[in-house]
């Protein structure tokens, strides 16, 4: 599972809305909706967001281990 909490914080710090992210990164609102649900998106999407926000992937997302994978 992934968390995009860092992305939403970064957008708030830049006074940007999700629709602004769609415009500057060239991604669809459905992709942003998937990210809002913590769903996986393609690496291409992540790269577009990083380029648009001038940051690295670790600046916008975290991998969150659930209890099942943490105990392996």
Q: How confident is the model at residue 71 (pLDDT cuts 50, 70, 90)?
A: low
Residue 31 resides in a domain: yes
What is the CATH number for 14? Answer: 1.10.260.40
Distances (CA, A) of 53 to 13, 59, 65: 11, 10, 26
Residue 34 has pLDDT above 90, yes or no: yes
State how many domains the chain has: 1
Residue 14 lies in a domain: yes
71 assigned to some structural domain: no
Q: Is residue 61 part of a domain?
A: yes
Helix 5-13 / helix 18-25 crossing angle, nearest 10 deg: 90
In a domain, 44, yes or no: yes
Greatest CA separation for the chain: 41
Q: What is the mean pLDDT of residues 43-63?
A: 97
pLDDT at 24 over 90: yes
Tell which residue, 10, 8, 14, 15, has the closest CA to residue 38: 8
What percent of the chain shows pLDDT beyond 70?
Answer: 92
Question: Average pLDDT in the 24-38 region?
Answer: 96
Whole-model pTM: value is 0.86
Asked if the structure places residue 24 within a domain, the reply is: yes
Residue 63 pLDDT exceeds 60: yes
The range of the structural domain enclosing residue 41 comes to 2-66
């Amino acid at each position: 599972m992934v968390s995009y909490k860092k992305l939403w914080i970064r957008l708030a710090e830049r006074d940007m809305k999700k629709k602004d992210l769609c415009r500057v990164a060239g991604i669809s609102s459905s992709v942003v909706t998937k990210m809002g649900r913590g769903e996986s998106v393609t690496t291409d999407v992540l790269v577009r967001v990083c380029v648009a926000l001038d940051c690295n992937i670790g600046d916008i997302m975290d991998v969150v281990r659930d209890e099942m994978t943490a105990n392996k």
